[in-house]
A = this chain, B = another copy of it.
Amino acid sequence: MTLHEEMLAVGDGAVAASRELALLSERRKNAILEAMAAEVETRKNAILDANKKDIEAGRNAGLSTALLDRLLLTETRLVGVVKGIRMVGALRDPVGARISRWIRPNGLVIVKQRVPIGVIAILYESRPNVTADTSALCIKTSNAVILRGGKEALNSNAALAEALTAGGRKKGLPERAIQLIRCADHDVARELVQMEGRVDLVILRGGEALIRAVTDQARVPVIKHYKGVCHTYVDESAKIEMALAICENAKCQRPGVCNAMEKLLVHEKIAPAFLPPMAARFAERGVELRGDAAARAIAPGMKEATEQDWFEEYLDLILTVKIVPSIEAAIAHINRHGSRHSDAIVTESEAAERMFTRDVDSAAVYVNASTRFTDGGEFGMGAEIGISTDKLHARGPMALEELTTYKYVIHGNGQIRE
């Protein structure tokens, strides 16, 4: 079999599984999820052993400490994985829910109701917990899932997927409902995004290069978990203490994630009072600052920011700082340089807050809070499969509802159109 034929067979298997999944009751799906969780517990040692192989190979291949940490599974982390699956089991199944219902003058009863999407493929890197989270969310919403993790995590992902499948099968998980692609060939990604009629949605969680390459070739709808170039704008009316705390948190609490602040915009009127203490706090936390000329004049010691800096997601203790003459300039800068992920204003002005929340074109727009809250768990969704930086179908954190679509079911008693 060629890779193409193999992938078509994977797609056919997923389509068949999705039809079976659509027939399962919520109770049945919860029993499957519980069995999946239990089997991961049972196979704990085998999974940790597989992970050790990946870590060793990664170390030999010279992966960075950050990447190795993302790759690592420990007993504690595995407990978190199991807990995550059970948490999804406890969430309410959105499939079958009525979104709306109305009756037409001719007596037709129209119900708009949630249905599974069908077959979902996900391309992701490093963290093996995505394998379990994604599988649980897809099974709960009756979607078949095709998993394509990074090659550096293949042993861990394979051990996890085997446990999930073996556990689920005990309670009636359809064969091929969860399929992990083991083939390391680069063309797998291209095949997946071109499987119209077999794959209904591809979720992309990966590096910028992967996303660009795959998006260019896609014929299947794709939702991107793209970069997070998140801004905080400190308005002239901001409370300085609040602004200091929010900015420190947004930058430093976990700099390696997509909802961490990467850019700081400061109104010129508040900059002399705000920027020096802010720079001092960042210096304490080891943050490298890069500023425009105005910022460097107020808080010396910053490096010079280049044009490229405004577009870059560092995922590190680096921050670019700009002084702006107005809120309008801040908004224009964000819409031009940001990634439509999460952006915040710190302000005491209602007019400023209204303008900022209306005009900033991002998935999550904050007033007086840290951008770090853009997260399925923090939003109260219970879990997430990713954070969409696209505008269609789903925006921001994607959880169960975002893994469904809808159809119209129309009941009549013989209506015909005049």
Q: Using Cβ atoms and an 8 Å threshold, which residues of chain B touch A242?
A: 413-414
- Quick one: closest B residue to A346, CB to CB? B414
Chain A residues proximal to chain B, CB less than 8 Å: 19, 22-23, 102, 104, 108, 110, 115, 117-118, 200-201, 215-216, 218-219, 221, 239, 242, 245-246, 248-250, 253, 335, 353, 357-359, 361-370, 372-374, 378-380, 390-393, 395-396, 405-417
Give the CA-CA distance A414 to B346 in the complex, in Å: 8
B395 touches A246 (CB 8 A): no
B409 touches A365 (CB 8 A): yes
B370 touches A417 (CB 8 A): yes
Q: Using Cβ atoms and an 8 Å threshold, which residues of chain B touch A409?
A: 357, 365, 367
Give the CA-CA distance A219 to B239 in the complex, in Å: 43
A246 touches B414 (CB 8 A): yes
Secondary structure of the A contact surface, majority rule: mixed
Give the CA-CA distance A253 to B379 in the complex, in Å: 50
A391 touches B245 (CB 8 A): no
Q: Using Cβ atoms and an 8 Å threshold, which residues of chain B touch A411?
A: 353, 366-369
The minimal Cβ–Cβ distance linking A145 to chain B, given in whole angstroms, is 16
Contacting A216 at CB < 8 Å: which of B117, B219, B408?
Answer: B219
The minimal Cβ–Cβ distance linking A25 to chain B, given in whole angstroms, is 12
Give the CA-CA distance A200 to B23 in the complex, in Å: 35
Give the CA-CA distance A231 to B365 in the complex, in Å: 45
Q: Using Cβ atoms and an 8 Å threshold, which residues of chain B touch A19?
A: 335, 359
- Quick one: closest B residue to A331, CB to CB? B19
B395 touches A392 (CB 8 A): no
The minimal Cβ–Cβ distance linking A250 to chain B, given in whole angstroms, is 8
> With A219-B215, A372-B416, A416-B249 as given contacts, are A392 and B357 in contact (CB-CB < 8 Å)?
no
